[in-house]
Structure 1
Amino acid sequence: MPSSIGNDDNLNSSYKPRMSPNTPGKLNYGRTFLIGLAFMTSSIVWAYYNFIMPILLKEFFIDIDAGNFLDLYVGIIMVLDNIIAVLMIPYFGAISDRAKSKLGKRTPFIIIGCISAVISFSILGIISDSRGIGPFIGLISVIIWFNFSMSFYRSASISVLPDLTDPEVRSTGNAIINTLGAISMVIGLVIPIITGKFYSTQLLYQKDLSRALGFYLVSIATAIALGIFLLTVKETPTGEKFLKIGEYSIAINPITLDYLGEQEKNIEKKEKPYEILKIIFKESEKSTLFMLIVIFTSFLSQNALETYYSLYATSFLGLEEGEASSVIIIAPIVMIITAIPAGKIAEKFGRKKTIFLGLIGLSICSFFMIYLKNLILIRILMGFMGIFFGFVIINSIVIIWQMAPKGKIGAYTGVYYLFSQLSATFSPLIAGSVFSLYKIITDCDEGFQYVTLFPYIILWEIVAIFFLNYVKQGESKKFTTKQINALRIEHEN
């Protein structure tokens, strides 16, 4: 095992953990919940953003008379904001592995990124009820700023969990994180129901308070979650200033939370973020690569649903925004209830088997959703989809963590988000093209083109199942007390 190097030989004694150590093989549920608040800050924002922005963008395009390919244009704008994430998340994930800070490796990124995201999201609220070329350009500019802010801290917010959690119980830990993510989705989807009561209400400069109020409420909820996280989660210090980027990855013992110093294996070759991806592609054992492909393909279906559900519900089902939100909200509510059992199932029967069950379940539910307009049945199927989405989402990133080399969890988390964001980049374009072409070819009524949404979902779930068969690693390994003691002694020497 590598040891601390350079001028940091005395830092193992200087940088003491600010929280109590973990019990090997057991999960600290309270602490994990608080760690999850960092992830929750982004989840609240994305839930509302993904619901409202396609509707908002389509209204802008209609206002400027953009032509026939409106769904494709919506997809293009939703892609533009993801390009930043694709480029930046792996980079910021890798440099957070090397962050020297009195607040720990990840916290400075969370503070800077989250505050910037809250400000930019609030400005989106100001622009939301304006129309015309000028406001449209302003909208796109703020979207880019907002997404840069989210990319800055996304990987760091996720990496806090594996940094401070025994690998043996990370599936359950990640289940708690995703439970908070589902709660965030519920909050984000409840907001359109609440703000719908203020439809056409004027206040000061706002012509329609309902849209703007949604952005403001989300920003407030995000700021509250950040505040609680900062007050309760105290990472082990890795430096003496607020933020400085070191030369090498810094390790924290996930059991004792001891500072282990910069990692010696990086001396001869300092791996840049995208060099991590090259290493993964060159590995003789391709499980990591195949798992990343599973993530990419399965998220193609998820991102299509997130991007176009609001248009499907309002145009095809004929629902108002608030009612449309009340239908899809069933999925995250059910996910809240079943997330921790999903983690337990994975720990008992295997992560790969649990993901496989999730992909099969999503395909079956999507098949029955085609042409369906009965809201009771749609809500029931949305509930089952919430369960199956949880099976996939909760365990996918845990497999990547398990296969990550020591000191590279942040970088591998960044690669995970690279592939998930690539799917978020391509899926709106592909799905939007399918909708637009279907409408042009069939000359169907406006809204009927969205009936192709669920066959699109089924296609990519089947592709994900195919590649999952080639994943041979990533299951949990026991982290014994003897191994923990040996690790500690080796680093102390």
Structure 2
Amino acid sequence: MKETFSQRKVLVIGSGFFALTLIWTFYNAYMPLILANHIERTSIIGAIMGLDNLLAVLLIPLIGAWSDRVNTRFGKRLPFLMIGMPLAALFFVLLPFMQSTLWTLLFIDILFLLAMTLYRAPVISLMPDHIAPERRSLANGYINLMGGIGAIVALFGLSQLYQVNSSYPFIVTSILLMTAFLLLFRSVDRHPPYTTNTNNDQDEVQARRSVTRGLAELFLKKHRGQAFILFAIFVYFIGYASIEALFTLYATRTLGFTEGLAGLTLGFFSLSFVLFAVPAGWIGQKLGKVETMVIGLILLPLFFVAIPFISTPLLLQVVLFLAGVAWALINVQAYPLVADLGGLAKIGLFTGLYYLFSMSAQLIGPTLLGLMMDFFGGAALFFTASATFVVAYFLLQHGKKKIEQTKSIAA
């Protein structure tokens, strides 16, 4: 098989991640502010933001494994995109018009999340489907660049539109999501070179059994290293997801920022991620994925611990910019590392497991850290988040050691 690395193909695949990150960044920054119109306690808002991810925790691993097994004339992944992306665009554009009561808002929100869940694992699996394992860190750097651009558009552009009219960002985002879908539909290979058919029954029941077996295997002695790596991802995502979901509430309630300034300030975290995504992928390719993640896990809590002592927007933006560089070192490597754990036949399954662990953290994190904020004040958000990155550092190191020991025994 001749190895190819088409930047055009990577960027087309990245358009899906652009739209995905655009939606989630705007959603996570501004949905808590919308909920705050109905709810006072940060812990309850955090719980709702966490519960929004429950559907993803339950379904993403199943859909990822299911997309490994299907074999249609549109290939394995596109059928999920063909249904999920248009429906997600429809329900997202309805959200600003359903704010009259909390219950109608939550109903449309759940429909939107179901649609997003349907296509998330398949669209992420497109990258390892098309790219050889040794080039995935670099490819993921490009794709994270696209995602970071989406985050910047959300926090620098859409946040300003939100101040003009709260419905405008939802309309623009839905249009961009449909544009990404059309690009993917026209451009991705129906049968890409690095994916295989598992040749089992092509139904959701088999996908569920596959996930169950995959989780069970993680607790076998020979796979404990993989389990520790996934638990490291779980722990640090508790901190990251909580800051992403609750920062705008911290900025508006504790620091007195306007909604627009809160979103703009958070945007500096995403801006540095965009600027450093490709260099982080290159560093991961040179130093190794785990080694690069370790550097980020050391630096990021140092920046987060400093934030509660900062009240001026400019200095806060500088610190968040530096924190985004550290986050790039971690996040650009994480998915390629997990994809490598599964091999060609289980890319979709391990994509699902990656999202099972990361989305489980998003289910728990905003509730837990929101409760800490209610009891100990806004600063508790950053102190607790910093602790999660320190714990993840030790779990990741232990996982790497376990994998190396297993390989040496097998050799």
Q: TM-score range by the shorter chain?
A: over 0.9
2:64 to 93, 97, 102: 93
- 2: CA distance, partners of 1:294 / 1:197: 38
Shift of 1:419: 0.3
Partner of residue 42, structure 1? 20
Partner of residue 230, structure 1? 185
Shift of 1:406: 3.1
Tell me which moved more, 53-62 or 417-426. Answer: 53-62
1:212 to 162, 167, 177: 167
Shift of 1:346: 0.8
1:189 to 115, 131, 155: 155
Cα-Cα RMSD: 2.1
Shift of 1:312: 1.0
**Retained in 1: the 8 A contact 2:68–2:197?**
no
- 2: CA distance, partners of 1:316 / 1:27: 47
Q: Secondary structure at the match of 1:272?
A: helix
- 2: CA distance, partners of 1:78 / 1:464: 23
**Retained in 2: the 8 A contact 1:192–1:325?**
no
- 1: CA distance, partners of 2:344 / 2:169: 42
Q: Deviations over 1:422-468 (max 9, x none)?
A: 00000011011111122xxxxxxxxxx21211101111011101101
Q: Deviations over 1:50-101 (max 9, x none)?
A: 0111111111125xxxxxxx11110121122111010000000000001111
Shift of 1:265: 12
Q: Which amino acid aligns with 2:284?
A: A
Q: Secondary structure at the match of 1:470?
A: helix
Mapping of residues 251-262 of structure 1, within 5 Å: 253-254=193-194, 262=198
Kindly tell me: are residues 55 and 262 of structure 1, through their superposed partners in 2, closer, same or farther at Cα, counting changes over 3 Å?
Answer: closer
Shift of 1:262: 4.5
Shift of 1:324: 1.4
Tell me which moved more, 110-119 or 282-291. Answer: 282-291
- 2: CA distance, partners of 1:349 / 1:116: 41
Q: Which amino acid aligns with 1:80?
A: L
Mapping of residues 21-40 of structure 1, within 5 Å: 23-24=2-3, 27-40=5-18
Kindly tell me: are residues 144 and 265 of structure 1, through their superposed partners in 2, closer, same or farther at Cα, counting changes over 3 Å?
Answer: closer
**Retained in 2: the 8 A contact 1:358–1:389?**
yes
- 1: CA distance, partners of 2:366 / 2:231: 18
Partner of residue 245, structure 1? none
**Retained in 2: the 8 A contact 1:287–1:470?**
yes
2:144 to 178, 197, 201: 178
1:221 to 160, 166, 176: 176
- 2: CA distance, partners of 1:88 / 1:293: 19
**Retained in 2: the 8 A contact 1:125–1:216?**
no
Q: Deviations over 1:159-184 (max 9, x none)?
A: 01101101011001111111111111
2:50 to 79, 101, 104: 79
- 2: CA distance, partners of 1:174 / 1:402: 13
- 2: CA distance, partners of 1:288 / 1:235: 30
**Retained in 1: the 8 A contact 2:370–2:381?**
no
- 1: CA distance, partners of 2:243 / 2:66: 32
**Retained in 2: the 8 A contact 1:38–1:110?**
no
- 2: CA distance, partners of 1:396 / 1:261: 25
Counterpart check, 1:53 vs 2:24: no
**Retained in 2: the 8 A contact 1:39–1:154?**
no
Partner of residue 312, structure 1? 250
Kindly tell me: are residues 365 and 136 of structure 1, through their superposed partners in 2, closer, same or farther at Cα, counting changes over 3 Å?
Answer: same
2:292 to 354, 373, 385: 354
Mapping of residues 239-254 of structure 1, within 5 Å: 253-254=193-194
- 2: CA distance, partners of 1:261 / 1:303: 34
- 2: CA distance, partners of 1:77 / 1:98: 33
Q: What is the TM-score normalised by the length of structure 2?
A: 0.92
Please list every run of 5 or more consecutive structure 1 residues that lacks an aligned counterpart in the other structure. Answer: 1-20, 63-69, 199-209, 237-251, 439-448, 476-493
Between the aligned residues of both structures, percent identity stands at 28
Q: Secondary structure at the match of 1:149?
A: helix
Q: Which amino acid aligns with 2:322?
A: F
Q: Deviations over 1:280-305 (max 9, x none)?
A: 12242412101101100111111011
Q: Deviations over 1:215-274 (max 9, x none)?
A: 2222122112222222222322xxxxxxxxxxxxxxx532xx8xx6544899xx984222
Partner of residue 154, structure 1? 120
1:166 to 113, 122, 132: 132
- 1: CA distance, partners of 2:399 / 2:253: 40
Partner of residue 467, structure 1? 395
Task: Report which of the two structures shows the higher radius of gyration computed on alpha carbons.
Answer: 1
Counterpart check, 1:423 vs 2:354: no
Shift of 1:191: 3.9
- 2: CA distance, partners of 1:307 / 1:326: 14
Q: Which amino acid aligns with 1:153?
A: Y
Q: Secondary structure at the match of 1:59?
A: coil
Q: Identify the structure with the greater helix proportion.
A: 2
- 2: CA distance, partners of 1:51 / 1:306: 7
Alignment coverage as a number of residue pairs: 399
Q: Secondary structure at the match of 2:167?
A: helix
List 4+ stretches of structure 1 deviating above 6 A: none
**Retained in 2: the 8 A contact 1:192–1:322?**
no
- 2: CA distance, partners of 1:344 / 1:197: 38
